Amino acid sequence: MADKNDTVLVPGERVQPEVDEAEAVRLLQRLYACSATHVEELSSYDDKNFHIKVEPSTSCGVTVSKNGCVLKILNSLDSKFPEAIEAQNRLIQHIAEQGICTPRPLPNLQGKLWSLERQEKSGDVRFVVRLFTFVPGRVFVGVAYTPALLHGIGKLAGKMDSACFSFSHPAFSNYKRIWSLTEVPKLTQFLICITDPQQRHLVAKVLRDFDDSVVTNYTKLKKGVIHGDLSDNNILIQPSASSPGEFQVVGFLDFGDATHSYYVFEIAILLCYVLLGACAGEDPIELAGHALAGYLSEFPLPKPDLSVLKICVTARLVQSLVLGAYTASVEPGNKDYVLQTQSKGWSLLHTLHARPATDVYTTWGRILKQYNLFFQF
């Protein structure tokens, strides 16, 4: 069946805006009447994001804190579906009202939370431009994982999904991106970028398992609005006030992948990046169990969802490896960021795929019992 929209990436398509820091400053001035005092480009797969410090306020009456703001220029593909931008903005407002911390969009000179702009280097292609508040902290990448921090992240993710469960918007019902786990079967179109025959064979096996175990059981899975990208780059942490040298979770960034989907995908994505970020000598499966316990303590999932959790985690790992390799091939200037998964991802994929599901679920069940949670996988 054909997609209901054309926001799913296809091979050969380049979608990242060609915007540098100077152009970002000009956009900020023209659209928000803000004068930049400092600008720094942030890492991103397909968009362009800039952390900008500005003069105290804009002429449209919006106060920008001393921490600055983030100017986001959306990729050309997602910019074709402005209804999703409206849905994301309303979702952000909804979960913020439920106490979940996340950057919030700011109005431009026209009082709008986004605008479509044409860039000089892009011909007739137009990009959605938005300005967000900047929340102090650092992303989850590169810190030592502790059970307490992982449990806290999982717990806040569960609270967020509990808030998302009461939210709906028609734009999310037919909005998909290649990073949506529902699009995992389409990774076969991108396998040309995987040159190692053994790696390609393993990917194909995971895709078949996902189709057999997950796709055929969609009707049994808990569904609603999800964030859709709880990667370590989208989890915001700060030093703990009560435990020196440790961190605590603050909130979540970037709702660009939010959609109406399956909640097992949400926790699977989070667990995938916990596995990738675990230090050598640690059992990543055991560490992931603490994040899972936090999540389930706030947002329980039924047995059909938990029974496919391992293959969903494995599928997300495959998705990151394949799309990372593909994006690096079409955006070589961004390869350091998009290939983060590759260094240990393939080894982890082999290990995770070979580890029996019963072993994984036994480990997670043991961790859950430490938090007085009892679930049958």
The pTM of the full predicted model, rounded to 2 decimals, is: 0.89
Residue in the block written with tokens 């100017």: 71
- Give the residue-averaged pLDDT of 178-200: 91
**Local confidence band at 3 (pLDDT 50, 70, 90 cut-offs):** very low
For residue 229, indicate whether it is catalytic: yes
- Out of 46, 47, 161, 229, which one is annotated catalytic? 229
- Give the residue-averaged pLDDT of 115-140: 85
Count the neighbouring beta carbons within 10 Å of the beta carbon of residue 223: 15
SS3 (DSSP) at 32 = helix
Q: What is the pLDDT of residue 331?
A: 67
Q: What is the pLDDT of residue 238?
A: 93
Q: Which residues contact 247 (CB under 8 A, 6 or more apart)?
A: 143, 149, 237, 238, 239, 240
- Give the residue-averaged pLDDT of 271-285: 90
CA Rg value for the chain: 20
**Local confidence band at 333 (pLDDT 50, 70, 90 cut-offs):** low
Q: Is the pLDDT of residue 9 over 80?
A: no
Q: What is the pLDDT of residue 58?
A: 53
Quick: pLDDT tens for 283-324: 999 999 999 999 999 999 999 999 999 999 999 999 999 998
Poorest-pLDDT segment among 267-276, 324-333, 347-356: 324-333
Q: Is the pLDDT of residue 57 over 80?
A: no
Quick: pLDDT tens for 233-259: 999 999 988 888 889 999 999 999 999
What is the CATH superfamily name and number for domain 21-135? Phosphorylase Kinase; domain 1 (3.30.200.20)
Distance CA 249, CA 157 (A): 10
Quick: pLDDT tens for 87-127: 999 999 999 999 999 999 999 999 999 999 987 665 678 89
Q: What is the pLDDT of residue 1?
A: 34
Helix-then-strand count for the chain, H and E: 11, 11
DSSP string, 86-148: HHHHHHHHHHHHTT-B---EE--TTS-S-EEEE-GGGTT-EEEEEEEE---SEESTTSPP-HH
Distance CA 333, CA 137 (A): 27
Q: What are the structural domain ranges in the chain?
A: 21-135, 139-370
Distance CA 52, CA 40 (A): 6
Between 210 and 67, the more confident residue is 210
Q: Do domains 21-135 and 139-370 have the same CATH topology?
A: no
- Give the residue-averaged pLDDT of 35-45: 86
User: Which percentage of the chain shows pLDDT scores above 70?
Assistant: 89
Q: Is the pLDDT of residue 137 over 70?
A: yes
Alpha helix stretches (DSSP H) within 214-308: 263-277, 284-298, 303-307
* Mean pLDDT rounded to a whole number for the chain: 88
Q: Can you name the CATH fold of 139-370?
A: Aminoglycoside 3'-phosphotransferase; Chain: A, domain 2 (3.90.1200)
DSSP string, 66-78: TT-EEEEE--TTG
Residue in the block written with tokens 């389409």: 186
